[in-house]
Structure 1
Amino acid sequence: MCKFSGILEKTRINYGVLKANLATDFIQCIKNIIGGFRTEQRDTIRRSVDAVGGGFQYNFISFNYTRTLDKCVEYAKTEVEGLGRRTYNGCVYANTIGELIHVHGYTDRDMVLGVNDETQILNMKLFENEYPEYLAQIIKKETN
């Protein structure tokens, strides 16, 4: 485990204590997501929603390296009834929680900081003599 990951481990949230509140609050945020938009945007979203049949599946993309959103999604899935149902053309459909994708990976197993390729490293001498093993570790496309 890297030093940064160890620091994060020490500042970990006790999710078990917060589980019920996290699930309920997260579901409420999902249900009220449209409230964060301007009026004209809300109207456009409502028209789009009204035109779609079936239930809604909420999927998530995270650019964060931690597992905080993972826990919110995990706990919300246990309370998925809170997302409610919707009626479309006389049929009732359940809303569900789908997948969470971590675009950049996680702090405990993926590169957090780095460069795209060798052209972004100004002083390659550092890697030639003393630390050649770190070169592959600092280039994201080789590490991730």
Structure 2
Amino acid sequence: MNVTFLLGNGFDLNLGLSTSYKDFYSYYAKKEPNDFIAKSISKNYELWSDLELGLGKFLRTVKEDQINDFLNSKALLEKNLIEYLQYENKKLSIKNEKALAEEVKNQIPNFYMDFNLKEKNCYEDLILKENNKIIYKFINFNYTNALDSIIDITKKHSDPFSTHKYINYTNPIRDGIDLPLHIHGDLNNNLILGVNDSSQIENSNLNNNSELTDYIIKTKVNENLGELNISKAKTMINSSCYVCIYGLSIGDTDNYWWSYLIEWLLKDTKHRLVLFVYNHTIIQSSAQEKLRCSNSNKNKIISKNYEIDEETKNKIRDRIIVIQNSKIFDFENIDIKNNNS
């Protein structure tokens, strides 16, 4: 059985890395002041509040004979993004490797400890009957390797990663943890930046032009690379009873995956989707506000599939668990070194 985590930029931000679009734009505009995407970002930050959606919106003003110019500019943006994130990567510092490994061992297998009592009992009952090892897997939507470093250190100092008791077996089952799959590439190989589908290319003259779409629709790029990352990610999800989302905004440029997770939820009544969300307001003392926040986040992902009926939506709601302000990836043995050079 797998427990699979989908991790986004919120993971890196929580570590203390400056990986927001706003941080990158400041760097990019200074580095490439004459590039026409950089100029657009400097003039209209609102258009580029989401970098990938911004690319689709920017294409409104691009003509067919300018596709190569646009792709060259996008390539320059990607080059600068890689350089900027490599700089951020170097800030990551480990205080104590063994202590960090212990933190990871204590946190990830206990991801369910903030569930309500009903859902906590369901999970504990499930693993009690699970006579195969639990593998904790990760689909990383980030380009950085912060998570890779943390898991690599954990594997180095942990054998087994964790254990769980099986009801009919005297000895505990030895569980494991795997290095992450970078679904959109990483800083060393196959970085993919783009939109979810042709509808997000806001130019009717371009949204079916393969000279553009082959390089900007993320699923097409992934398939054309031939690394089978989409198939690998689906296999991870399909063999999971629990899928957890942390640090991802459920944004439109990854609608492909939100729709797939809805399909996965409906395949088995035991499947659970866990949404780790951060809310600036302390609301734990108010049952009303806790439930409103929970339902709002559930509806956010349910709304990504417009074809399902109300009865099906209710089934999905019952299989989504919302955890607010979790400390699951708060690591005391990670430090961020600032380098102003």
State the TM-score, normalized to the length of structure 2.
0.35
Residue 2 of structure 1 corresponds to which residue in structure 2? 79
In structure 1, which of residues 110, 126, 136 is the aligned counterpart of residue 191 of structure 2?
110
Tell me by how many angstroms 1:51 deviates: 0.9
CA offsets, 1:22-73, max 9 Å, x none?
3222111113212121211101101111111144322222233322221222
Q: Distance in 2 between matches of 1:84 and 1:125?
A: 54
Residues 1:139 and 1:86: Cα distance change in structure 2 (over 3 Å) = closer
Residue 333 of structure 2 corresponds to which residue in structure 1? none
- The count of residues paired between Structure 1 and Structure 2 equals 139
State the TM-score, normalized to the length of structure 1.
0.72
Residue 122 of structure 1 corresponds to which residue in structure 2? 202
Q: Distance in 1 between matches of 2:95 and 2:164?
A: 32
Q: Distance in 2 between matches of 1:141 and 1:54?
A: 33
- On the 8 A contact 1:83/1:96 being kept in 2, the answer is yes
Q: Distance in 2 between matches of 1:33 and 1:135?
A: 39
In structure 1, which of residues 43, 48, 53 is the aligned counterpart of residue 131 of structure 2?
53
Question: Does 1:29 find its partner at 2:107?
Answer: yes
Residue 170 of structure 2 corresponds to which residue in structure 1? 90
> Partner letter of residue 61 of structure 1?
I
- On the 8 A contact 1:22/1:76 being kept in 2, the answer is yes
CA offsets, 1:78-129, max 9 Å, x none?
1223744344322343222235223333255322333523x53234779xxx
Residues 1:113 and 1:92: Cα distance change in structure 2 (over 3 Å) = same
- On the 8 A contact 1:27/1:82 being kept in 2, the answer is no
